Amino acid sequence: MSKGFASTYRIFVLATGLLGVFGLLGARLVWLHVIDRDSLLRNIVKIRRQIIVEKARRGDILDAHGAILATSHSLLVVGVDRSALRKPDDKLCAKDEQKWPQLAALLGLPLSQLKKIFTTRFREPAAATTATAASPTAAPAGLVFNFDLTPAKSAATDAATDDGDDVELDPAADAAGRHEIRWAKLAEDISESAAVEIEKLGIQGITRDRVYRRSYPHHQLASHLLGYLNRDEQPVAGLERYADFYLQGQDGWREGERDGRSRELAQFRTREVPRADGYSVKLSIDTNVQDIIEQELAHIAATYQPLKATIIVSRPDDGFVLGLANYPSYDPNEYNKIPKQEQERMKNVAVADVYDPGSVFKIVAASAALEENLVTRATRFNCMLEKISYKGRELKLPGEDHHFDHDLSVAEIIAHSSNRGAAQLAMLLGEERFDRYARSFGFGRTLGFPVGGEVPGIFHPVKDWNPIDITRLPMGQSVSVTVLQMHQAMSAIASGGVLLRPQLIREIRDASNEPVYRYSRVELGRVVSTRTASTMAQLLMGVATKDGTAPEAAITGYEVAGKTGTTQKLEEEMQPSGKTKLVYSHKHHVASFVGFFPASRPQVVISVIIDDVDAHAPNGVAYGAKVAAPSFKHIGEQLIPLLNIQAGRPAIATNLVAFEGGLR
């Protein structure tokens, strides 16, 4: 009887082999499910379980009428998740590659660039990309691509970025100092329709995320007030930084899973915290007013080519700013394109720079002397004196721009801007009282303006004064102020004698546009009485007349009150000894006009400050009356219909004291 086809030996070998295979399989299963179970579960969770962040939308910044000054646009960012790409030996990989031209067209990318992003696995260390032309044997600068995806030959691409999270690095690449790229951005600002078409392509590893980008639709309008966000969407300056607590919102998040195509699997969501969009900030800025003053600055720049210039417009009754602009300016949408040597233009010089205010500062001595009952508007002073005795010391009085052949009344001292008259008013007060009033007007301290960068200016304590300072400070020398400080000091007279905090924010509104907080008038302190403020308004009206220093500021049919300033700038001068000394220049001035109207019932305060335009000014000297006052008038005339400013005197006598003799 014949034996079977297989011998006993063969059967034994086959059985042993099968048992060995099953044994190895069993051991592997034991290893996976028992010994290495926790590690594998951690890796699976690490790969599939994710915290998915939902970015909050930053709140808008609005003008007084609700026009958008700063907003956040929703963008779709399309990228490639390298960990989810199909392997080269996957039969579907070739099909994905065939769709690359369609993907490139939808993204608006050159196909070659798309290929580089898809096929670059590693970012080379910095040292590997610093080859120079002088070293031909060094590694070539730039990118080295490997289209077969082998680690030994691949390099980084500028378009790819590594987020550094949830990725196991290739040991060989890690040893070489290279980092494996986990995710790379393909394009941003993709339309919704394009995103749908990209989804239809079904290319594995393509991700789509919604982000927000800040934009400023009016470009440079109010840029020094708004500030901007940097490339990391962090606030850098202005209201963006000051009001960031309200604007930023709170990101939401949820814990969930993604499939092989990096699509979220909604059925596996667990914990979820909804996002809270940021609040909007409504300002007192009127876009129309802001545009008027920025156009005026553009005219000043074209005509006089100033070093810098500032214009401020505000309401005297509550301190809210209607417009504030500086020259030169910038577009916050393109802050990163400003050359390093021009970045000074990003500074808000209205609050961050100081200047000697000149004759505008005379309102301090005149107001204080009237308030202390030391003089009336009719009190006269000899302004022809060159020297005067003060506290046992003979002091030299400052020079005058005009020759006077008679004693001047207080009203004439203001109208004709007498330096010697202002000095004598201050000497009547004495150092301590003059210092107290100057500080109550807001000089030598910050005013709490909500844009950041505000400086207190320079107003030295009395103990540090030189003996001659009592004659120089009243005319605006030996003191440095910000444009905003001088503006608010004049506003204190227009407001009836109260120094108000300059403000920008009117309301905070929630994501549903409902007001949650309203800002109102804030008094920093009373400077002078209502009666003294009214008298000063009358005296300042004399400036904008044919007999005053600035008839160029007069507006037909309206009572204009204001003060000119023509300040000599300090410059270094070489002395015979070879040393340099700071002296007042005769060729470089700061021209200014600060005022309000109607004087009897002030509705708007305007400051115009222009720095160093002598070379292009009439007769080579930048007088405030000739350079700044015309801009005051031009702005005021445009504001009358826009703000519905009414002319005429009120019936209430306390708001306007009659001009006739002897009244304060």
Cα 80 to Cα 181: distance, rounded to the nearest angstrom: 10
**Statement: residue 54 has pLDDT above 70:** yes
Residues 202-231 have pLDDT tens digits of 887 788 777 888 999 999 999 999 999 998
Higher pLDDT, 258 or 260: 258
**Taking 90 as the threshold, does the pLDDT of residue 325 lie above it?**
yes
- Which candidate, 546, 553, 528, 559, places its Cα nearest to that of 659? 559
Torsion angle of the four alpha carbons 42, 46, 51, 55, in this order, in degrees rounded to the nearest 10:
160
Computed over every residue of the chain, the mean pLDDT equals 84
Q: Which residue ranges does the chain devote to CATH 3.40.710.10?
A: 287-655
Measure the CA angle with vertex 641, ends 638 and 646; round to 5°: 115
C-alpha radius of gyration, the chain, whole number = 37
- pLDDT at position 254 over 90: no
Cβ neighbors of 496 (< 8 A, separation 6 or more) are 530, 533, 534
Q: Is 82 exposed, middle or buried (0-12, 13-18, 19+ CB in 10 A)?
A: buried
Q: Are 596 and 606 in contact (CB under 8 A)?
A: yes
Contact by Cβ (8 Å): 314, 485: no
Report the pLDDT averaged over residues 356-380. 97
- Over 90: is that where the pLDDT of 356 sits? yes
What element of type H or E holds 190?
strand 183-190
pLDDT at 144: 33
In this structure, what are the phi and psi dihedrals at residue 226, rounded to the nearest 5 degrees?
-75, -40
Question: Exposed, middle or buried by CB within 10 Å (0-12, 13-18, 19+), for 557?
Answer: exposed
Question: How far is Cα 528 from Cα 506, in angstroms, rounded to an integer?
Answer: 27
Give the single-character DSSP code of 501. -
Cβ–Cβ under 8 Å, residues 186 and 203: no
CATH placement of domain 51-127+136-283? 3.90.1310.10
* pLDDT > 90? residue 428: yes
Please tell me the distance from the alpha carbon of residue 270 to that of residue 264, in angstroms, as a whole number: 12
pLDDT for residue 444 is more than 90: yes
- Looking at the predicted structure, is the pLDDT value of residue 77 above 90? no
pLDDT at 197 > cutoff 70: yes
Is residue 624 a contact partner of residue 564, using CB atoms and an 8 Å limit?
Answer: yes
Among the listed residues 195, 163, 193, the one whose alpha carbon sits nearest the alpha carbon of residue 179? 163
Question: Which residues are CB-neighbours of 450 under 8 A, at least 6 positions away?
Answer: 239, 242, 243, 503, 504, 505
Query: How many residues are recorded in the chain?
Result: 664
535 pLDDT higher than 80: yes
Q: Which residues share a beta bridge with 78?
A: 187, 208
Pick the range with the lowest mean pLDDT from 116-125, 377-386, 577-586. 116-125
Residue 501's φ and ψ, nearest 5 degrees, are -70, 130
**Regarding predicted confidence, which is higher, 184 or 147?**
184
**Nearest by Cα to 312 from 92, 85, 565, 488:** 488
What number is the average pLDDT over the span 158-185? 54
pLDDT on residue 151: 35
Identify the pLDDT of residue 26. Answer: 81
Q: Which of 70-74, 308-312, 603-607 bottoms out in mean pLDDT, i.e. has the lowest? A: 70-74
Least confident of 170-174, 430-434, 581-585: 170-174
Mean pLDDT lowest for which of 246-250, 264-268, 273-277? 264-268
- Three-class HEC string of 555-623: CCCCCCEEEEEEEEEEEEEECCCCCEEEEEEEEEEEEEEEEEECCCCCCEEEEEEEECCHHHCHHHCCC
Per-residue pLDDT band at 90 (split at 50, 70, 90): low
Residue 577 above 70 pLDDT?
Answer: yes
Q: Residue 657 pLDDT > 50, yes or no? A: no
> pLDDT by residue (tens digit) across 30-40?
776 777 666 65
Q: Is the pLDDT of residue 663 over 60?
A: no
Which value, to the nearest 10 degrees, does the dihedral of the CA atoms of residues 657, 659, 663, 664 take? 70
Where does 416-520 show beta strands of DSSP type E?
A: 498-500, 505-509, 515-518
Full 3-state SS string of 259-277: CCCCCEEHHHCCCEECCEC
Mean pLDDT of 1-11: 66
Contacting residues for 600 by C-beta, under 8 A, at least 6 apart: 537, 559, 648, 649, 650, 655, 656
Distance CA 493, CA 497 (A): 5
* Residue 97 in tokens: 């590659």
pLDDT reported for residue 174: 58
Q: Which amino acid is at 351?
A: V
Stronger pLDDT, 587 or 325, i.e. the higher one = 325
Fold of 287-655: Beta-lactamase (3.40.710)
How many other CB atoms sit within 10 Å of the CB of residue 99?
14
- Distance, CA of 517 to CA of 628 (rounded, Å): 38
Q: Where in the chain is the domain with CATH 3.90.1310.10?
A: 51-127+136-283
Q: Which residue is listed with tokens 């015309």?
A: 630
Residue 169, pLDDT > 60, answer no
- Output the DSSP codes for 341-374: GGGGGGS-HHHH--B--GGGGHHHHHHHHHHTTS
Q: What is the largest CA-CA distance in the chain?
A: 156
With a cut of 60, say whether residue 149 has pLDDT above it.
Answer: no
